């Protein structure tokens, strides 16, 4: 089974497929923290492009937080997985409670990672969205919707691995998608890496600072 050694190697592999964007003006990489940040840092370094963070929070089902019933992003962007909400009979009150909790965490991370700096201007820019892999697609759909609101010229999705069915659903939502691995069954993103440690808040902040030096 083909795998990546770690997120950094995955980022360098993606950079090779994105080399036509190297040194391009009006091009910005947006990483989804925390796992997407080491991937994006390597791409930004290889292509001499700036990168910033797009903070997105998964809306986990109560008592099964790994199962996403949706996701939220900047400026109250909310994307819901209505099938899961209906199948599990999630009440509106429960949904709103989870959204409120995740908004608090989104705001906390924005302050911690970006010192609450204003979000970069995306108008007429080429945006390369980066994560370390896609499981359900809820988080990345919220990210795409949030970016789309800012009226960029193009949205490029760059991810090391995504389940094939999710990959096919995402293709119409962006201008280009780079994804080297599209297995029929994903199981979990970490399965596709030899080394897949938890990324800390400090690592996110340090990589963001290093890119800006």
Distance CA 162, CA 155 (A): 17
Q: What is the pLDDT of residue 64?
A: 82
Of 69, 213, 210, 211, nearest to 142 by C-alpha is 69
The architecture of the domain spanning 7-55+120-212 is: 3-Layer(aba) Sandwich (3.40)
Cα–Cα distances (Å) from 128 to 66, 87, 188, in that order, read: 26, 34, 23
Distance CA 182, CA 161 (A): 6
Q: Say how far residue 211 (Cα) sits from the centre of its chain.
A: 18
The pLDDT mean for the chain works out to: 92
Q: Does the N-terminal peptide bond of residue 170 adopt cis geometry, omega within 30 degrees of 0?
A: no
Q: What is the pLDDT of residue 52?
A: 93
Task: List the chain pLDDT tens, one digit each, 213 residues.
Answer: 589 999 999 999 999 999 999 999 999 999 999 999 999 999 999 999 999 999 998 898 988 877 889 888 887 888 888 888 999 999 999 999 999 999 999 988 888 898 867 888 999 999 999 999 998 888 898 899 999 989 999 999 999 999 999 999 999 999 999 999 999 998 899 999 999 999 999 999 999 888 776
Q: What is the pLDDT of residue 67?
A: 80
Q: What is the pLDDT of residue 189?
A: 93
Looking at the chain, how many residues does it have?
213
> Residue ranges of the domains in the chain?
7-55+120-212, 58-114
Q: Residue 177's beta-bridge partner residues?
A: 157
Q: Which helix (H) or strand (E) holds 154?
A: strand 154-158
Query: Each residue of 90-132: pLDDT tens digit?
Result: 999 999 999 999 999 998 888 889 886 788 899 999 999 999 9
């Amino acid at each position: 089974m083909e795998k990546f050694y770690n997120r950094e190697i995955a980022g360098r592999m993606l950079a090779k497929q994105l080399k036509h964007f190297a040194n391009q003006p009006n091009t910005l990489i947006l990483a989804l923290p925390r796992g997407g940040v080491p991937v994006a840092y390597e791409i930004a370094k290889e292509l001499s492009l700036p990168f910033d963070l797009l903070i997105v929070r998964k809306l986990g089902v109560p008592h099964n937080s790994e199962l996403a019933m949706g996701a939220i992003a900047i400026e109250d962007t909310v994307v819901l997985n209505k099938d899961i909400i209906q199948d599990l009979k999630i009440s509106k009150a429960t949904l709103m409670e989870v959204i409120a909790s995740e908004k608090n965490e989104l705001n906390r991370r924005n302050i911690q990672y970006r010192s609450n700096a204003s979000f970069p201007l995306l108008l007429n820019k080429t945006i390369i969205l980066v994560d370390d892999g896609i499981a359900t697609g809820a988080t990345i759909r919220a990210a795409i919707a949030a970016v789309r609101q800012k009226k960029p010229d193009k949205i490029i999705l760059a991810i090391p691995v995504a389940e094939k069915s999710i990959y096919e659903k995402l293709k119409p939502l962006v201008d280009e998608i780079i994804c080297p691995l599209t297995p029929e069954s994903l199981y979990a993103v970490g399965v596709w890496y030899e080394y897949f440690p938890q990324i800390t808040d400090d690592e996110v902040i340090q990589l963001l600072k290093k890119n800006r030096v």
